[in-house]
A and B are shown apart, each in its own frame.
Chain A
Amino acid sequence: MEVSEVFEKVKGLFVEELGIDSEKITMDAKLEEDLEIDSLGIVEVVMAFEDEFEIEIDDEELADVGTVGQAVNLLQSKL
């Protein structure tokens, strides 16, 4: 799957599942500061990714994920 395709799916999840304004969602957007996703929200995001992409994400893999772009890259590497 292309990076752009993964990004569009992630964007769709953020809008549909979390109710985030689609204009805010860019590759550079910071999950906590820009999108106001708190620690509980991160758990939801991971669950949504796991369901959408049929993968499993470990806590350790999340340690370096702070932006939408980093999340997209992590997901693409697992597909």
Chain B
Amino acid sequence: MTKQRVVVTGLGTINPLGNNVSDTWQNLINGVSGIDYISLFDASNLPVTFAGEVKNFDANEYMGKQNARKLDRSGQLSIFAAEEAIKDAGFNINEPLGDDFGIIFGTGIGGIGATENAVRVYDERGSSRISPLAITQLMPNSSTGQVAIKYGIRGPSLTITTACAASANAIGEAKRMIEQNIVSKVLVGGTESGTTSMTIGAFAQIKALSKQNDEPKKACKPFDKNRDGFVMAEGSTVLILESEESAKRRNANIHGYVSGYGSSTDAHHITAPSEGGEGAVRAMKDAIADADIESKSIDYINAHGTSTPANDLNETLAIKSLFGDDAYNVKISSTKSMTGHLLGGGGAFEAMATILSIKNGKIPPTINLENPDEDCDLNYTPTKYVEKKLNIAMSNSFGFGGHNAVLIFNAE
């Protein structure tokens, strides 16, 4: 059998910038920050008091209290994003998607909020008072199972937990599943809701988070000289991947092509990137080889760009190492400057942003990049979006653990 080409026929999202694809895209282009002071719990005792929260989402209203209470917030967001993506792909949400549909979710820390709650109950009231729903809320594969149940997805399923590369890996593995004719369609998602007290406190302890509490919307400034860490964010994004053959047969709307996937491991340090982004370079090279293109034909890179000192420097070095002199010609931006860091949900969100950039011929800006760092001297599309016809674009995702996942998308 010939290798299938893989297309994206459905998109859905809920994130700090919007509760659907259209609002999210408008805000990405307009350079809106989704970051603000934490409202979901009292954060006054934390060293970091801001995050990228999903707004105007009432799970009880959306799915009914009896269903909502069975899920951690990360799972509630997954069900919501999946609905938009399934509808966008032209499927009926009330009919099971069936056996020829796979599902892969990526998440960094699963139902960490449910874990925190269960520990609190255990400490205060003992083991007999732990909720019987705790395990099914907190397990990292909760979104995979719950979304599959809700929409009747009965093909192969996987949950990928490569930290902040998780849902980029999910898209890559789904691409392979379709290429190998295992199934013709895969629902791929990324989800995270780690905007919780212990989790923010713990990330702050390892100095990963920005502490610019006085100006939350300005705190995330990838590639800027004054960047001091990432901003925790929550959200879910879902894509429907499909073989080109299947999409054309049913006359589906094609958003773009998933043409390349590369992944590698640093094997260096559990949080720090390898010297010069060496592991990232290998993943980018593999993605370029998989897409069967040359590096110079890449028009745009949606960077991992977390706003931590180490990531942004090493990602810049990695791009220079791979592209040589062409590095100064390629357009780059970090949409995390607006969303914050969606952790395991980041890869899927940024894949969506990259596909929409190609489709609309517009590159979202890196907001808050106002004071260039002399060591980060590439074209990061500072502050304002740029119009440009894009044929091929790349999205980078790197995770704690040394996981690197790189995706390449084509217009056609």
Q: Which of chain B's residues 60-90 have a Cβ closer than 8 Å to chain A?
A: 60, 64-70
Contact call B66/A20, Cβ cutoff below 8 A: yes
Contact call A40/B69, Cβ cutoff below 8 A: no
Say yes or no: is B268 at the interface (Cβ < 8 Å to chain A).
no
Residues of A within 8 A of B133 (CB): 40, 44
Contact call B68/A19, Cβ cutoff below 8 A: yes
Residues of B within 8 A of A3 (CB): none
Say yes or no: is A55 at the interface (Cβ < 8 Å to chain B).
no
When C-beta atoms are compared, the residue in chain B nearest to A47 turns out to be B129
Residues of A within 8 A of B64 (CB): 19
- What is the number of contacts between chain A and chain B, taking CB atoms within 8 Å? 26
Residues of A within 8 A of B67 (CB): 19
Contact call A44/B66, Cβ cutoff below 8 A: no
Contact call B60/A19, Cβ cutoff below 8 A: yes
With both chains docked as a complex, state the minimum distance between the C-beta of A23 and any C-beta of chain B, in angstroms. 13
Of the residues A18, A36, A40, A51, contact of B136 by C-beta under 8 Å: A40
**Cα of A41 to Cα of B132 in the assembled complex, Å:** 8
Residues of A within 8 A of B70 (CB): 40
Of the residues A18, A40, A47, A51, contact of B66 by C-beta under 8 Å: A18
Contact call B131/A36, Cβ cutoff below 8 A: no
Which of the four size classes fits the interface of chain B? Answer: 10 to 19
Q: Taking chain B's interface residues, is the majority helix, strand, or loop, or is none over half, making it mixed?
A: helix
Residues of B within 8 A of A20 (CB): 66
**Cα of A43 to Cα of B66 in the assembled complex, Å:** 15
Residues of B within 8 A of A36 (CB): 66
**Cα of A43 to Cα of B70 in the assembled complex, Å:** 13
**Cα of A18 to Cα of B60 in the assembled complex, Å:** 11
With both chains docked as a complex, state the minimum distance between the C-beta of A49 and any C-beta of chain B, in angstroms. 13
Residues of B within 8 A of A19 (CB): 60, 64-69
Residues of A within 8 A of B131 (CB): 44, 47
Contact call B132/A18, Cβ cutoff below 8 A: no
**Cα of A20 to Cα of B64 in the assembled complex, Å:** 9
Residues of A within 8 A of B66 (CB): 18-20, 36
Q: Which of chain A's residues 11-69 have a Cβ closer than 8 Å to chain B?
A: 18-20, 36, 40-41, 43-44, 47, 51
**Cα of A51 to Cα of B70 in the assembled complex, Å:** 20
When C-beta atoms are compared, the residue in chain A nearest to B136 turns out to be A40
When C-beta atoms are compared, the residue in chain A nearest to B133 turns out to be A40
With both chains docked as a complex, state the minimum distance between the C-beta of B64 and any C-beta of chain A, in angstroms. 7
Q: Which of chain B's residues 126-160 have a Cβ closer than 8 Å to chain A?
A: 128-129, 131-133, 136
**Cα of A43 to Cα of B67 in the assembled complex, Å:** 16
Contact call A40/B132, Cβ cutoff below 8 A: yes
**Of residues B70, B129, B131, B132, which shows the largest number of chain A Cβ atoms within 10 Å of its Cβ?**
B132
When C-beta atoms are compared, the residue in chain A nearest to B128 turns out to be A47
**Of residues A19, A41, A47, A51, which shows the largest number of chain B Cβ atoms within 10 Å of its Cβ?**
A19
Contact call A18/B69, Cβ cutoff below 8 A: yes
Residues of A within 8 A of B136 (CB): 40
When C-beta atoms are compared, the residue in chain A nearest to B131 turns out to be A44
Residues of A within 8 A of B128 (CB): 47
Q: Which of chain B's residues 100-141 have a Cβ closer than 8 Å to chain A?
A: 128-129, 131-133, 136
- Chain B positions within 8 Å of A, measured between CB atoms, are 60, 64-70, 128-129, 131-133, 136
15 chain-A/chain-B pairs, Cβ below 8 angstroms: A18-B66, A19-B66, A20-B66, A36-B66, A40-B70, A40-B132, A40-B133, A40-B136, A41-B132, A44-B132, A44-B133, A47-B129, A47-B131, A47-B132, A51-B129
- Chain A positions within 8 Å of B, measured between CB atoms, are 18-20, 36, 40-41, 43-44, 47, 51
Known: A18-B66, A19-B64. 14 other contacts (CB 8 A): A18-B65, A19-B65, A19-B66, A19-B67, A19-B68, A19-B69, A20-B66, A36-B66, A40-B133, A41-B132, A44-B132, A44-B133, A47-B128, A47-B132
In the A-B complex, the 3 residue pairs with the closest CB atoms: A19-B65, A43-B132, A19-B66
